[in-house]
Amino acid sequence: MGGTEHLTVRREGATLVLTLNRPDARNALSLSMLVGLYDGWLEADEDDEVRSIVLTGAGGAFCAGMDLKALAGQGMEGEQHRDRLKADPDLHWKAMLRHHRPRKPVIAAVEGYCVAGGTEILQGTDIRVAGESATFGLFEVKHGLFPIGGSTVRLQRQIPRTHALEMLLTGRPYTAREAAGIGLIGHVVPDGMALDKALEIAERINACGPLAVEAVKASVYETAEMTETDGLAAELKRGWPIFDTADAKEGTRAFAEKRPPEYKRA
């Protein structure tokens, strides 16, 4: 199991939990963290025993964005990983889910700050839970910067454009309730409970057929920008083979044997 000094990896049953672990800097992204993240995504993709991923942060924060000094190599922090970035100049974008999408569902468990690069990584996750005191936002324009982690493309596809533009152009912070109201996150829970809720959702996913789960996730993203006609054709092409898998046969047999009363004939 991988991990670095700024990214811890552990297993909770069939869930791989990746924790951004730089609490003294509100989990600002460092090279060590990015390398650990990318390796974590790959580990989940390659391990058939992993059925879901939870991404969270240590110390009451999710991620406060990029640490530009660390990424620029000022100081020795993360220096042992610099060869990885030279070998793969795209690594940081893959780590931030800009240029990589894991096969398994990714659930974000957010506490505290989830701003700038944190909100950009969030947009690469599939299901999102936040504590009541969490803070979201894209602050780049306030500093004369561009949110180049994918937000000008993804955000308007995930929430209404008027809200996307307000978030992008004002650089203001959003509360968890506001973020839920515009559809950026799905659940708001008491502070300190985001990880528990994320693991609860993960466990429900883990109880489902893994091939079906992966195919459904792939179909949703694959068809997102298609016409309805093209999307339905793509869905059939991806979904129909699932019915021939051992998972499907086992699942339908178990359902037939234990189906609930509302499915039984009178």
| Residue 246 CB neighbours (<10 A) | 9
Rounded to a whole number of angstroms, the CA Rg of the chain reads 20
Pair 113, 130: CB distance under 8 Å: no
Owner of token pair 């454009």: 161
Closest CA to 20 of 115, 11, 34, 12: 34
**Residue 77: CB partners within 8 Å, gap ≥ 6?**
30, 31, 32, 70
The structure tokens listed for 193 are 């409970």
- In the chain, the amino acid numbered 17 is V
Residues 49, 77, 79, 120: which is the catalytic one?
Answer: 120
| Residue 142 CB neighbours (<10 A) | 12
Pair 94, 38: CB distance under 8 Å: yes
Is 140 catalytic? The answer is: yes
Q: How far apart are CA 35 and CA 183, in angstroms?
A: 30
The structure tokens listed for 233 are 């054709």
Owner of token pair 């086992």: 250
Is 120 catalytic? The answer is: yes
The structure tokens listed for 36 are 């650990």
Residues 140, 166, 225, 228: which is the catalytic one?
Answer: 140
Q: How far apart are CA 254 and CA 84, in angstroms?
A: 47
Give the active site residues. 120, 140
